[in-house]
Amino acid sequence: MSEQSNYTEDNIRSLDWKEHIRMRPGMYIGKLGDGSSPDDGIYILLKEVLDNSIDEYVMGAGKTIDVSIQGSKVIVRDYGRGIPLGKVVDVVSKMNTGGKYDSKAFKKSVGLNGVGTKAVNALSSFFRVESTRESKSASAEFEQGNLTNQELLDDTSRRKGTKVSFVPDEIIFKNYKYRSEYVVKMLKNYVYLNTGLTIVFNGEKYYSENGLKDLLSENIKDTDRLYPIIHLMGEDIEVAITHSKTQYSEEYHSFVNGQNTTQGGTHLSAFREALVKTIREFYGKNYDASDIRKSIVSAISIKVMEPVFESQTKTKLGSTDMGGNLPTVRTFVNDFIKTQLDNFLHKNPETADKIQRKILQAERERKELSGIRKLAKDRAKKANLHNKKLRDCRVHFGDVKNERYLETTLFITEGDSASGSITKSRDVNTQAVFSLKGKPLNSYGLSKKIVYENEEFNLLQAALNIEETIEDLRYNNVVIATDADVDGMHIRLLLITFFLQFFPEIIKEGHLYILQTPLFRVRNKKETIYCYSEQERLDAIAKLKPKPEITRFKGLGEISPDEFVHFIGENIRLDPVMLDKEMSIEDLLSFYMGKNTPTRQDFIIDNLKVELDIVEESI
């Protein structure tokens, strides 16, 4: 009997809310991950709980939010109105239940569908919610979405508000850990967008008086700003703008109702369009849009009634209307920029002059590069056509309906054997491979011209689709996969230099990683353990005694495709490349990639001694 004829009523299943969330977590929180990426699921869980506390602040209830992360346990405590006590269980365990369907209670909320805390509950091995109102308190505890305990206290001295505690389920999130750098960035964004709000994270206070101006101050140093930050505020909209002296591409930070829309949307498109239109009209010149926006660093935040996002993770705004009787998003943003930016430029002629000179410089550079760019694009198309450098994947950012974009990964590797192993063992749907030919050029101090003249850089830029803006980035994760030897480390450094020099926002926005691969394989007839450190090797030997076989991997090319699949699949280990906020990009590149100096020699010698001590101890 064929499989088709076996399709009966018995094949039809009805899942309850928690079963569906646990079976299809990606629909609710995007990708899972282990915490190495800022858009991994464990951060979405935190965000979903925080959004509710933020909405309380927006409605004028509670000026402080306490956040604690100790190991895998997360606690979020606000001092808002508290959940109505009789509905504490329902709002975290019944779909289509919540206060945000009532627009009088939450006018411009992020979480409109009542899904967020239910997803956190279902995907946590432990979940507790506690609400206090008018000296009374109600609490409920769950395991994997199943209610295990609930209490009601008639008399309590606790302050009003809501406290949520949860532990992400290790069955869903394997080998995860929270990285404080990502948590802090998220919390800072919340205070930038909600001036007057204080968030306390593990005892550290975060607060902002100047909103998006503080955000830009955090992301671009004084010495790299072409002019002081332009800060424009209006009802339901806030904008901050400056230009970088050294950065080539555009950098945007966009928000809707306090949500960081990392993939932009209608509001960001409207802003970019309005900026160009206003600049052209102010100077009376039909400047090219790319020249106007080149090197811009800016942020925009708007508030919309009942926003429509393109996914549950809310990373891209789909709304075309502001809600109520207000105009479209495009008209609203355009009218604000046209009036406020034009007024600012008239009142600040020195800034206006610097902007115009920056545009004219960009125009000259674009014209100088026009011939080279055309030849480079033709060469890139031809190379991709013959599949010489890039083994692409099937999922692309251009398909905005494709929820798997967050999983898309480009491995940048060197050598035929290494790229061949990764190519054979990858997931062809989401993982692509770009093969380098030898060591890349040290691009420190070079102009953008070199990106088009150098074949490796030109083809890499084309593969990533980042010539104009990283909004068009084809792969969410860019992973450098090189050997863990001196040559491999040098290649990593040269690639990081390339991104810092020409596309720093790829690092700033958390897209660049280093692939960890095992140093040792320890096995006996029954079990194989891959070890990423000396300590893991010792632990494996102790576990697999007596005298297991030990292999030391010298390079990626030595790892067979059958083994490689274990290292780039579900158990992939990635180290994110992060910027030190205390050091500017120019200082960073100058120190590590500039001319040799006594200071750098001392640094290398001191750190080499540390490495040698570690090696001697392991021997």
pLDDT in tens, 244-266: 988 888 889 999 888 888 888 88
Q: Where is pLDDT greater, at 602 or 59?
A: 59
Among 403, 390, 400, 470, smallest CA distance to 432 is for 390
The strand ranges marked E within 498-568 are 512-515, 520-523, 528-531, 549-552
Burial 467-480 (b: 16+ CB within 10 A, else e): bebbbebbbbbbbb
Give CA–CA dist 453/218, Å, rounded: 34
pLDDT tops 70 at residue 7: no
Mean pLDDT for 223-238 is 93
**Domains of the chain (ranges plus CATH)?**
17-207 (3.30.565.10), 212-366 (3.30.230.10), 387-517+562-582 (3.40.50.670), 520-552 (no CATH)
Q: pLDDT per residue over 504-542, tens digit each?
A: 889 888 899 999 888 888 998 889 998 888 899 999 999
The strands making up 549-552's β-sheet, listed across from edge to edge, are 528-531, 520-523, 549-552
Give CA–CA dist 168/47, Å, rounded: 13
Mean pLDDT for 385-398 is 68
Give CA–CA dist 157/121, Å, rounded: 27
Among 352, 215, 197, 350, smallest CA distance to 279 is for 352
Place of tokens 């030190």: 580
pLDDT tops 60 at residue 101: no
Q: What is the pLDDT of residue 183?
A: 95
Supply 55's token pair. Answer: 């909405």
Please name the residues in contact with 42: beta carbons below 8 A apart, sequence gap of 6 or more. Answer: 33, 35, 168, 173, 176, 178
pLDDT tops 50 at residue 213: yes
pLDDT tops 80 at residue 192: yes
Mean pLDDT for 429-455 is 86
Q: What is the pLDDT of residue 596?
A: 65
Give the number of C-alpha atoms closer than 13 A to the C-alpha of residue 517, restricted to the C-beta side.
Answer: 28
Q: Where are the alpha helices (DSSP H) in 503-597?
A: 505-508, 534-543, 561-564, 585-593
442 pLDDT tier (thresholds 50, 70, 90): confident
| Report field, pTM of the whole predicted structure over 0.75 | yes
Mean pLDDT for 480-488 is 83
Q: What is the pLDDT of residue 432?
A: 92
Please name the residues in contact with 367: beta carbons below 8 A apart, sequence gap of 6 or more. Answer: none
pLDDT tops 90 at residue 26: no
606 pLDDT tier (thresholds 50, 70, 90): low
487 pLDDT tier (thresholds 50, 70, 90): confident
Give CA–CA dist 270/163, Å, rounded: 38
Surface-to-core class of residue 438, CB atoms within 10 Å of its CB (0-12 exposed, 13-18 middle, 19+ buried): exposed
> C-alpha dihedral over 508, 514, 516, 517, to 10 degrees?
160
Q: What is the pLDDT of residue 240?
A: 96
Surface-to-core class of residue 220, CB atoms within 10 Å of its CB (0-12 exposed, 13-18 middle, 19+ buried): buried
Give CA–CA dist 549/594, Å, rounded: 44
Give CA–CA dist 595/445, Å, rounded: 11
Q: Computed from CA positions of residues 481, 487, 489, 491, in that sequence, does the dihedral angle turn out positive or negative? A: negative
Q: What is the pLDDT of residue 109?
A: 56
Mean pLDDT for 355-372 is 88
Give CA–CA dist 59/52, Å, rounded: 11
Supply 3's token pair. Answer: 């499989």
Residue 342 in contact with residue 278, Cβ under 8 Å?
yes
Hey, which of 156-160, 319-323, 479-483 has the most confident mean pLDDT?
A: 479-483
Mean pLDDT, rounded, of the chain: 83
Among 36, 46, 35, 29, smallest CA distance to 165 is for 46
